Structure formats: C-alpha cells, structure tokens
Structure 1
Amino acid sequence: MILKIPLPWLQLTYKKMRFFVALMGIGFAVMLMFLQLGLRDALFDSAVRLHRSLEADIILLSPLSTASIAMESFSQRHLYKALGYAGVESVSSVYVDFAVWKNLKARRARLIFVIGINPTDQVLNLPGVQQNINQIKREDVALFDQASRPEFGPIAQEFNQGETVIAEVRGHRLKIGGLFQLGTSFGTDGNLIMSDYTFLRVFNNRVDGLIDIGLIKLNPKANPNRVLNQLKRSLSDGVKVFSKQEYIEFEKNYWNTSTAIGFIFDLGAVVGFTVGTVIVYQILYADVSDHLSEYATLKAIGYTHNYLLKVVFQEALILASFGYIPGLAISLGLYSLVKSATLLPIAMNLSRAAFVLGLTTLMCVISGAIAMQKLRDADPVNSF
C-alpha cells in the first residue's frame, strides 16, 4: 500500500525555506499573544494576592477607595455594627499605607507597602505570617516579605543568617522579627506586616479607629448571600460591602479599566493577532500565485473549485498547527525570564494555551479565507 501524502502539505513544504520562515513568523505572532496575555494575567494575579489571603467572607471598604494602592479610611464603627447581625461570627480591622523604607546599611530609600493587623486575630493566610505572628506583638517589630524586590536589600538573607535587621520606615526604626511571603505586583515592590499598634506609631498622622479594610467572618452555618445582602442594605450609607470574590473583581476591574495597563496588554495581543494574520495571508497568497497554473490544470481535469478551496483551507490549518509549537516553546522561556526579572507570578496554564491555540487557528482561517479569492484567477481558459 502506497502512503498518500496530502497535497496541501506538499505545496507548503515544496519550498522548505519559505515554509520555515512562515512558521517562525507565525511563532512570533503566537509568542507576542502569549506574552501580552501572560503579563495581563500576571498583573491581575499579583494585584489580588493580598485579597485572596484575607481570612474573611465579607469585606468593607470606604466608598472613596478605588484599589489597594489608593485606599481611603472609614470609621471602624461601621464594622462593629456588623456584629449585631445573625450569622456574623467576628470582625477584624486592617490598616494599609505606603511608606518610605530605608535600608540603614545601604542607605537606600524605596516605597514599601505596609499592612497593619491585630496579631490576636487570624487575618492573613500567607506563608510565614502565623509562624511569626507572636513577633509583631512586640512594639516596633515587623515581618518582611522575602519575595520583595532585591532593591530593598538582602533582608531575608541577613535575617536567615541570624543577623539583627533594623530598618527605617517613615523615619521610625523597626526590627525585622520574621519573614513571610506575598510577592510584588505592578503597584507594590515590597511589603511589611506589623501590628495595628506599631502601624499607628509609624503612621502617627493616622487616627485610631479610622481603618482601611474591614473583615467579617461568618458562622459556618450562616447563609453567606443572605448576610451579605442584609449588610449591603443596612451599611450602604457609609461603606461599600463586598463578598470576597466581589472584592477581588473590584481590584481587577480597577487595573483593567481605570489604568492604561490592561488596555495596553490587550492591544498588544490584538497586534500579535493582526501581524500573524498578515504573515499567513502573504504566505498563502504567494503559494496560490506560484501554483495558479497547477490549480487551473486540476480544474481542467475535473476537480471542482470547492476542492481547491479545501486545499488552501487545509494549508492554513497546517500553518496554524506547526506555527503554534515554536511560539509556545519560546513563550515558556520568556515566562521564566520575566518571572525571574520582575518576580511577577507569570506562568503558562492550560486555559491560556488553549485560548491562544484557538486564536492562532482563527488567525490562519481568516488569512486562508482572504487568500482563497486568488483562486478565481485559476481559469483553465486563460492558462492554456
């Protein structure tokens, strides 16, 4: 039995160098889409890591707060009101703000994100927090995020070596009593956790009782939606009331719609899609033009126009399939490079891989549909 090699494959691989260049061009477009979408998702994931770590079912914010990097305070009495509702088990307060960090050894200043919590409450589900929570019960002691950018200095390394680490935050000297892990984002380069008491000592312009985030834990037997709706109706005058997922979406929406960052990454993905479409169209158009007389011959001996359309369409699918592979491989390498350079949580996942594969296929199908118009010139009468 003789193995039949399909015509579309033979057409594409007849000029091997052109086929190789086509695959690299498609791979570049695929890589561009992967990079832009990966950075966008890393932006969202890094922006809500703190939100996901909060040990709460319902979140209270000031109506003036727009994102974690632009918080406004509200009165703690709104939070205490929630204790009067059936199903509410406990409440906790969180303070957040930015401060100037100074590494006393390097004498280098940098903005750091500071989180103030009550150490007697279980507020944050982050590696290292509960293990070191007793440390911040002491005055002027803080926990340092070991996933902060290296510009803050080798704090984690010095601490792990048993050295006493002292830093200056907003002109106030603090001792690093332990390490935890949260990570950087597009809005923050490093993080500190301290007790609410120490927080108010460092930020002596802040008023006790004016908090930034209110956390509400519900009784396991409570109906979360019912309690949430009750609080939204009764507390709506002074605060915003969110479920935990709504709070996460609130933050994502800020980065996606209120800043240029989300738009830029989406635009980059569109540009990659457009570039790939143009590349595939040029390849298919050139291929059809080079073999126009052969197509006319096939028509002359009885092959239909629809058969020729199928050949071009199959060529588009072959380009999509084989061009996707180098794009995916290059993207994996770039993700690793970006992660090590920026500390952003960028990684490949199945849903993004499938989505970009779908975009690549659509890109090639659109190009094939446009290039098919050239087949009308394959007229046996004009060719012979």
Structure 2
Amino acid sequence: MRRIVAGLAAALAVQVVAGQEDISLEDYAALMESNQEALGAVEAAVDAAAYQDARRSVAILRRNFQGRLPRFWFSRELADAVEIVRDGVDRLARLEEMMSRTWDVPEMPVRQATEEFRGAVCDACHNVYREGDGESGFRFREGVFALEAAPVRTREWSQYLAFDDRFSINFPGEPTIHEATYVTGYGITLPARVYTAEDDFGTYSATAVDWHEANELHERANEACQAATGDLRGGDNPGICANHVERDIRGATLHAAFGLLQRGSEVTFFGPATEGQNEGIRIQLLNEDGSRSFASIFWHENYLYITEATTPPGMPPPVLFANGMNFLDEYGIRIAYDTPYVPTFPVPSRRR
C-alpha cells in the first residue's frame, strides 16, 4: 500500500476535501447574493484603482464559480448553464491575472474585462434562466426545471498521499496505479508511476517520473559517446559528448509540456503554475471531441510531476483535482518555500 498508514502522524491522515451534496434553490439564492455583493465590490474597487481589494472580491467569485455553482447546474443537467459558469471561471482567472500585473496593464482593459464579465456571464445567465430585479426579487423562469433530473452522485473526493513519490493530490476515491517509463528531452529513459481515477465529471491522472538515477544514466551515455567518437574536440569535428543532466532537468517541464502540445488540440491556456513557491507550467486544451484537458507540470527534488484531468463537453472544470497538488518531505509533511524553488539551484528555506 502506498497510502500513508493512518497512525504514522496526524499530518498524514487522509482529509476529505468535499462531498457531493445536492445544492438547493435556497443555496443557489445565497450564492447569487454573494456573487452580486462581490461583483459590486470588484467594480467599486476597480473604479478606485484599488486592485488588491478587487482581487480579494474576485477570489470570492472564483470560489463560488468553482465550487457549488457548477454543481447546482450540473445536477440539473443544464449544459448551457454549466458552460456559462465555465466561461465565468475562465474570465475571472484572466481578470485576476490582469489585476496582478497592473504595472503593465492599463486601467481601461481591467475595467472593460470587469464589464464583460457581468455582461457575458451574469446577464447571460439571468436572461435565459431568471427574471425579476433587485426590487421585485429574482426568480427562475417558468419551466426552467420542468425536466429536472435527479442529482448526479459522484464518488467522494479525498486527498491521496503518494508517499513513495513524495506528493499528494485530490482524487475521487482510491486511484489505480501502474508502473511506466518516461523518455526525457535528452533521450534518457526513467522509471515512472502513473496514478489514475475517474468519475462522472471526467478522468484524472498524476504521473511521477523518478529522476534519482538520471545523473548516472547521463554519465553512462557520456562515456559511451566518448568511446564511440574519441571525444574529438576542436578542428572541423568538435565532440558533443558531455553529461547533460542539468540541462535535462532545467528543460524537463518544457519537454513534458511540448509532449502535450504535440497532440494537436487547441491550446486555450499556456502559462505559469505555482504550488508552494514551486513554479511550473499550466496548460488547458480543447480537444477535437469537445472535451477539455487541464494539465500542470512541476519538477521538484528529483521528481517530474505531470497531472492531467479531462472533462467531457459541458462539464465544469476539475477544480478539486487541479488545485489539490502538494509536495511532501520524507515525513509526509507538505512542503512550501519562502522564496521560489528553481531546479538545480540551492533549495530555499521552507515556510513554517
């Protein structure tokens, strides 16, 4: 068993992240009230150029849009509403990114993005599914739930601790594990372990590539190269033999990202990812069949991690999975650093 024994330490216990309870109409009304208040605060803060205050209110919106709101619509099998929520999640992520870069993003685009969020998300949903106003009260249009189905039940999510591979991540139940191999950018074959799970919302995988023997394998390749070429240097035929392990490590996340891009899917996002001050790469893809893939790639302490979730058309983003990655030390304690962690550079001090 690769799960941590429950009695090892309290910090290693499996933690239930979220249940899948039905979201009632009363719950939805409370969410709408929260969204209305938060969006009003965002607009007021943007008008005052108080972007830190605006980001705090955007965080409230993102929590609602990534949590209970998509479950409300998905359980009622209204795919158009789920798509509106997903568009809202994407717009909020872009808005937050703009607010974090106000030194090179003018005020007008931030204001415009805020107005577009209200129109393309809030107003779009209201025009189709709700009626009324702030004075008379909001209500769902007649017949919206006439064909309402029973709520979808999914497996309970929990934090899975892959102690052997020094990471933890959220999965819907116990994942299936199988051994694999992985070829690096310099052609070195390394052992890997793949963790997979699925539920009604999609499929999920986490691949951990073990780099502990990479230096030895690179050195063997270097020696074989020298034996084959005589390691000729200078002149018209310079030798190319060397131990390239550091270059291989520094390019590991880019090489893994390139592998995902080679599938040919439409790239809807390619940018940085951060977990515990460890900087990686985040990719979102729109696949030919309409499904969406969400991937994150990190390198940490002799492991390359590639996580990926794929959701069918109309399903909400895999928030619990995408935001559940953690790195563990030899005792199974989550690692977070005071300053950015960069492969092959001195390891920064850990946050306490």
Length-normalised TM-score, structure 1: 0.24
Length-normalised TM-score, structure 2: 0.25
Name which structure has the greater RCO, CA cutoff 8 Å, separation 6+. Answer: 1
